[in-house]
Amino acid sequence: MSEAVRLVEVGARDGLQNEARTLAPSVRAELIGRLVEAGLRHIEAGAFVSPRWVPQMAGTDEVLARLPKRPDLTYSVLVPNERGMSAALAAGADEVAVFTAASETFNRRNINCSIAESLARFEPVLAQAREHGVPVRGYVSCVLGCPYDGAVPVAQVVRTASALARLGCHEISLGDTIGAGVPSAVKTLLAACVTDIPVQRLAVHFHDTRGMAVANCLTALEQGVRVFDSSVSGLGGCPYSPGATGNVASEELVYLFEGLGLDTGVDLDRLVAAGGFVDQHLGRVTQSRVARARRADNTTKNPEER
């Protein structure tokens, strides 16, 4: 059997939360159902955050209630505090995620507190999670640059990621929020992080602002990372990072990894179709080059060849 990689599909949360058009819970649930049919097994289903600030995530409890439940599926939700954690538990989320940044300025703009304050805020969340046997994933934003502070010291990234690991996060996702990273910087960052955190507990989360996301994922793979956040149809962006484009497209990573002989467990045609579904509802054109090429190939084939 070929070596496996795991995709954490973030389109239904990180992707949709930056879209101007808000999709109904029923549509978001159907998108996730289509992603499950495509073979994705770890999916961010939403966030229990204030609908006043993030209206796109309103009704996450309804989304979860509509989803197929199976032992091989993990539905994760973002929670900012104890209230969000309680809501996630009541809704039956399989996993929760907490989020901070390696940049003080970004953290204050994003969640209105310092890095230290955010970590303190997570302590009761982790305590609730342990009590109920729910795993917690940690996100660190701005690991390769900040829209306000510019370069972010690697040592600060390591300190923040290590703090989340000590709190009890089973997996730490390192996010290039502004899409500034290049392969050499990714290699340096990961080399520093693995001195404190086993590579098996690290994931990467790249935005494709400068077209480097796939190359950065390949570099992370070469450094031993096997967990990759991605977003169907390249959905995403960040309201606190002007100019940042979407996440690396799930279609592009599936194409890359399967081409390398790695097992993703994902049917690319069904994934492209799921992307087409959400694009239609959002009134947008896909950001995935692989999806565009796949659709063009299918259009030019004879009916007998389809």
Q: What is the set of domains in the chain, with CATH numbers? A: 6-299 (3.20.20.70)
Provide the 3-class DSSP secondary structure of residue 170.
Answer: coil
What would the pLDDT profile of 124-162 be if each residue is shown by its tens digit? 999 999 999 999 999 999 999 999 999 999 999 999 999
Contact 187, 154 (CB under 8 A): no
- Look up residue 292 and give its two tokens: 């565009």
Residues forming beta bridges with residue 136, ordered by sequence position: 96
Global pTM reads: 0.94
Quick one: how far is CA 82 from the chain centroid? 22
What would the pLDDT profile of 17-50 be if each residue is shown by its tens digit? 988 899 999 999 999 999 999 999 999 999 999 9
What would the pLDDT profile of 231-263 be if each residue is shown by its tens digit? 999 998 665 555 556 899 999 999 999 999 999
As a whole number of angstroms, the distance between CA 176 and CA 207 comes to: 6
- Look up residue 2 and give its two tokens: 């070929």
Is 169 catalytic? The answer is: no
Q: Which residue is catalytic, options 142, 146, 217, 238?
A: 238
